[in-house]
Amino acid sequence: MKRIAILLSGCGNKDGSEVTEAVSLVIALSQQNCRLTFFSINKDIHPVHHLTGEIQTSEKRNLIAESARITRGPCHDLKNIILNDHDALAIVGGQGAAQHFSNWSEMKSKAEVQADVLKTIQSFHKAQKPIAAICIAPAVVACSLKGLKINLTLGLNPDDNAEVNKTGCEAIECPSNDFVSDRDHKIISTPAYMNKASAFDVYQGISGLAQELVEMA
């Protein structure tokens, strides 16, 4: 049984993890009989109203607690992750990854990665344990491993791909029902909702990514 650490950034595509992507990943890895452990960072945020798009400045929510809305069980503080307890890492997309795991939304290729996220990605990569990244999350991986010529995807948008290339990685165009696998660096990515896609397209891409992740692990 492969042990997979799943990194979430809250609950909801406008300020946290994209729920369809998260659930698709959980189902796909469950089909592979994996043991899943969930993590997030201990950060309070102002949530976004998902109907109006307005930031709710009068309210604060914690990313670990919000991520637990998806996990149906415990979600742990990422700073306490133990590398040797896991065979692989999977990072779910959504705006939370671009805003809370990094400042990619503002800085693009010059983005800085949150300290616990950076340490985790670099530790898994150094240990040659595979990393899967969904939607915008490959940008966080690219910024964490700058200078390495890693093949990954943010989908079909040329502007996004140009920013990824500035990190030293190589952006590969990819539809949402497929994935890109860099077997040398053990990085797997799929664009999900970075492209205009159906939920089934997203699930197909994530299902393929999950199978590749388990095989690498």
List 11, 34, 75, 135, catalytic entry: 135
Q: What is the phi/psi pair of residue 157, to 5°?
A: -80, 120
Q: What is the phi/psi pair of residue 79, to 5°?
A: -65, -15
Angle between helices 19-31 and 199-216 (to 10 degrees): 40
What span, in angstroms and rounded, lies between the C-alpha atoms of 122 and 124? 6
The structure tokens listed for 200 are 């089934």
**Does the active-site annotation cover 135?**
yes
DSSP codes, 47-68: PBPTTT--B-TT--EEHHHHHH
Q: What residues are annotated to the active site?
A: 135
